[in-house]
């Protein structure tokens, strides 16, 4: 019995959304489930989705879906995030992209024996990783911010490179329909795509700044205006030059994401929800088109191509590029092993294959789609599916801060900690609060923090610290006792609401924060030292104070005066702790290994100082 397109689309959406929920529950990237669902619905499975299901409209649906996904990813890339790993991002998107392009082409040429045109086309397409696969991975695998930003930025920028380079290679070397030389054609398309994105973004920004929308309708109008801008940028750029729409929406997303737009939170939530929906559509639909005959036809040679790309070229590119001092060896290895390919190569390879078949080059079409889909299929299955296991094995998931209580105190504390790149997990028994916390981007777990099973589910076994922040002292005392005795957590802090209970907490070697005393201290600071009190209150809003242990060997034995050049502007060494005593250092004081150095200043400057004084192996 044949079903209508509407019914098939409804089935795809329902299964896709169910897969997203299941993926979050199991902490496995959703792309793994989506591609399996697609295979199950395709000709290799029940045959519900075939190449004829959507006809020529599939390329349009996939194109617009990719535009939304890429825009959403670019919209999240703030300037301050990109500064976290400049060498890694620049390397992976320039020299790294070239090495991946030529290395992949060489592997395809050597193992599969195809001509250089098709080999270079495959190489161009497989530069891309993309937000379609990276976003689901990062939603369930928490890594440090510089690692996360590197993967996100690589996905956005290399998607643009892959899309434009692939069409240039296809037209100049495969079907030889374009007289433009490859470098000139690439630059021309890149300029067009970026130019369209800049114009659309600037026009939309001016619209937001100059037009007064009705107060009650303003957030909705802002969301719809952004959606219209994404579709317009993609469609206009594609009308001027094929495969430049990705560059246009990525550019628009970067500009708008770094602009002071009204209703930013509403726009972010809207684009993220749209991404979840269209991600299901494109992955399931394209996975259903996988020709397993073409994959099997590649034989051992195809598997060797995948192995060279994932185990030789990718690690070489990452270790060549990720030279920022904050990257540990295991973090470089994680980025090397987690680089699955996504929708951009799949959708473009499908369109090119159709043109090759029409041009009488069926064998080239089979090698193209077979190789691209084999790499996508295996990297999604292995690298995306095992991403959390890889991260756990390599120990690149930051030790979490477990925060019991998601009320006003807990929420404010979580926000401050996350602003300092802490991995925070909130445990809250009220389901409505958990929903609100999750909607605001916090990692929140619904459960009773006084139960061992709940604490274990929150990953307390490997916690950096546990903070009991509820309004009930009995609850906080029980949480502290469990954290100390059952989970052996080194640092346990507790909010104490009744001063007479402080001794009970201190008896457990728990850092007790007396709410009454803390309030009095804050008021006294406001009276006696208002400037510093205001500054401390604004921590998390561009300011920071951090204490680290001095481990940089080239700084040991030097004076504060001598190392001033290594301390970024906007930051000072405020305090040094040594031998259990704390003091403000003099300019001629000599630093010793193991000194506890406290930096005070702007967040960016403090972060740079921490990296310089406390490099990680």
pLDDT in tens, 265-287: 888 888 888 888 888 888 787 77
pLDDT at residue 586 in the model: 87
Q: Which residue has the tokens 């599939």?
A: 58
The CA-atom distances, in angstroms, between 312 and each of 106, 345, 417, 465 are: 13, 20, 38, 38
pLDDT at residue 328 in the model: 87
Angle at 384 between CA 381 and CA 390, to 5 degrees: 110
Q: Are 123 and 61 in contact (CB under 8 A)?
A: no
3-state secondary structure of 85: coil
3-state secondary structure of 283: helix
Q: Rounded distance, CA 516 to CA 511, Å?
A: 15
Q: pLDDT, tens digit, for every residue of 385-404?
A: 899 899 989 988 888 899 99
Mean pLDDT for the stretch of residues 402-408: 92
Mean per-residue pLDDT of the chain? 85
- The confidence band for 103, taking pLDDT boundaries of 50, 70 and 90, is very high
- The confidence band for 362, taking pLDDT boundaries of 50, 70 and 90, is confident
Specify burial of residue 389 (Cβ count, 10 A radius: 0-12, 13-18, 19+): exposed
Q: pLDDT, tens digit, for every residue of 508-539?
A: 889 988 878 777 777 776 777 676 666 666 55
- The confidence band for 492, taking pLDDT boundaries of 50, 70 and 90, is very high
pLDDT at residue 254 in the model: 93
For residues 553 and 489, which has the higher predicted lDDT (pLDDT)?
A: 489
Angle at 134 between CA 7 and CA 426, to 5 degrees: 95
pLDDT at residue 229 in the model: 93
How do beta strands 424-428 and 401-404 pair?
Answer: parallel
3-state secondary structure of 573: strand
pLDDT at residue 200 in the model: 95
pLDDT at residue 400 in the model: 86
For CA atoms 181, 187, 193, 195, the dihedral sign is negative
Q: Are 466 and 404 in contact (CB under 8 A)?
A: yes
Whole-prediction pTM value?
Answer: 0.77
Question: Is a pLDDT exceeding 80 seen at residue 245?
Answer: yes
Q: Which of 349-353, 490-494, 497-501 has the lowest mean pLDDT?
A: 349-353
Q: Rounded distance, CA 468 to CA 487, Å?
A: 14
Q: Structure tokens of 585? A: 């250092």
pLDDT at residue 279 in the model: 83
Q: Rounded distance, CA 272 to CA 148, Å?
A: 17
Q: Are 395 and 406 in contact (CB under 8 A)?
A: no
Question: Is a pLDDT exceeding 90 seen at residue 309?
Answer: yes
pLDDT at residue 537 in the model: 62
pLDDT at residue 42 in the model: 84
Q: Are 510 and 484 in contact (CB under 8 A)?
A: yes
Q: Are 253 and 275 in contact (CB under 8 A)?
A: no
The packing angle between helices 343-358 and 362-379, to 10°, is: 170
For residues 515 and 67, which has the higher predicted lDDT (pLDDT)?
A: 67
- The confidence band for 34, taking pLDDT boundaries of 50, 70 and 90, is confident
Q: Rounded distance, CA 317 to CA 88, Å?
A: 10
Q: Structure tokens of 434? A: 């958990």
Mean pLDDT for the stretch of residues 175-185: 60
Mean pLDDT for the stretch of residues 236-249: 90
Nearest to 271 by CA among 256, 287, 286: 256
Q: pLDDT, tens digit, for every residue of 558-589?
A: 888 887 777 888 888 888 888 778 888 888 88
Q: Are 575 and 583 in contact (CB under 8 A)?
A: yes
Nearest to 101 by CA among 66, 138, 127, 69: 127
How do beta strands 596-602 and 571-578 pair?
Answer: antiparallel
Give me the DSSP letters along 492-557.
Answer: EEEEESSGGGHHHHHTTT-EEEEHHHHHHHHHHHHHH-HHHHHHHHTBTTTEEEEEEE---GGGTT
3-state secondary structure of 88: helix
pLDDT at residue 1 in the model: 46
The CA-atom distances, in angstroms, between 603 and each of 76, 131, 398, 442, 550 are: 19, 28, 20, 21, 19
């Amino acid at each position: 019995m044949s079903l209508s397109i509407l019914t098939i689309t409804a089935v795809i959406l329902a299964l896709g959304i169910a897969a997203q929920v299941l993926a979050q529950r199991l902490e496995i990237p959703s792309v793994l489930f989506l591609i399996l669902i697609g295979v199950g619905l395709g000709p290799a499975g029940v045959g519900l989705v075939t190449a004829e299901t959507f006809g020529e409209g599939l390329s349009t649906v996939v194109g617009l879906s990719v535009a939304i996904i890429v825009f959403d990813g670019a919209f999240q890339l703030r300037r301050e995030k990109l500064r976290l790993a400049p060498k890694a991002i620049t390397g992976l998107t320039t020299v790294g992209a070239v090495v991946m392009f030529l290395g992949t082409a060489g592997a395809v040429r050597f193992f599969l024996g195809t001509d250089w045109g098709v080999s270079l086309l495959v190489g161009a397409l497989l530069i891309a990783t993309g937000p379609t696969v990276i976003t689901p991975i990062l939603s369930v695998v928490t890594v440090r911010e510089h690692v996360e930003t590197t993967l996100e930025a690589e996905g956005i920028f290399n998607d643009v490179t892959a899309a434009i380079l692939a069409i240039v290679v296809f037209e100049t070397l495969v079907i030889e329909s374009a007289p433009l030389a490859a470098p000139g054609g690439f630059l021309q398309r890149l300029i067009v795509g970026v130019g369209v994105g800049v114009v659309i973004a600037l026009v939309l920004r001016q619209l937001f700044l100059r037009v007064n929308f009705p107060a009650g309708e303003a957030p909705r109008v802002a969301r719809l205006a952004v959606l219209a801008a994404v579709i317009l940028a993609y469609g206009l750029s594609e009308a001027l030059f094929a495969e430049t729409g990705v560059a246009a929406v990525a550019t628009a997303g970067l500009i708008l994401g770094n602009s002071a737009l009204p209703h930013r939170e509403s726009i972010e939530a809207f684009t993220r929800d749209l991404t979840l929906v269209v991600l299901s559509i494109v992955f399931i639909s394209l996975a259903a088109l996988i020709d397993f005959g073409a994959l099997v036809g590649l034989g051992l040679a195809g598997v060797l191509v995948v192995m060279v790309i994932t185990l030789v070229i990718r690690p070489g590119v990452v270790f060549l590029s990720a030279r920022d001092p904050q990257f540990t060896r295991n973090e470089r290895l994680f980025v090397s092993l987690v680089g699955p390919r996504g929708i951009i190569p799949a959708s473009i390879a499908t369109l090119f294959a159709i043109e090759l078949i029409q041009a009488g080059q069926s064998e080239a079409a089979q090698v193209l789609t077979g190789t691209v889909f084999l790499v996508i299929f295996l990297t999604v299955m292995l690298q995306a599916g095992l991403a959390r296991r890889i991260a756990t094995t390599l120990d690149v998931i930051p030790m979490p801060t477990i925060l019991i209580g998601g009320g006003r105190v807990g929420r404010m504390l979580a926000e401050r900690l996350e602003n300092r790149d802490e991995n925070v997990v909130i445990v809250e028994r009220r389901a409505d609060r958990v929903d609100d916390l999750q909607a605001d981007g916090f990692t929140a777990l619904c459960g009773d923090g006084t139960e061992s099973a709940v604490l274990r589910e929150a990953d307390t076994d490997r916690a950096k610290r546990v903070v009991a922040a509820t309004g009930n002292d009995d609850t906080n005392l029980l949480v502290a006792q469990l954290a100390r005795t059952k989970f052996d957590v080194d640092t346990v802090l507790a909010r104490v609401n009744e001063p007479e209970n402080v001794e009970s907490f201190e008896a457990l070697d728990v850092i007790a924060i007396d709410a009454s005393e803390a309030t009095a201290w804050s008021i006294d600071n406001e009276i006696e030292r208002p400037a510093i009190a205001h500054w401390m209150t604004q921590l998390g809003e561009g300011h920071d104070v951090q204490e680290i242990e001095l481990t940089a060997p080239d700084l040991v034995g030097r004076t504060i005066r001598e190392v001033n050049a290594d301390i970024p502007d906007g930051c000072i060494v405020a305090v040094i702790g040594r031998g259990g005593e704390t003091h403000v250092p003099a300019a001629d004081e000599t630093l010793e290994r193991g000194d506890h150095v406290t930096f005070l200043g702007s967040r960016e400057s403090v972060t740079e100082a921490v990296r310089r004084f406390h490099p990680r192996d």
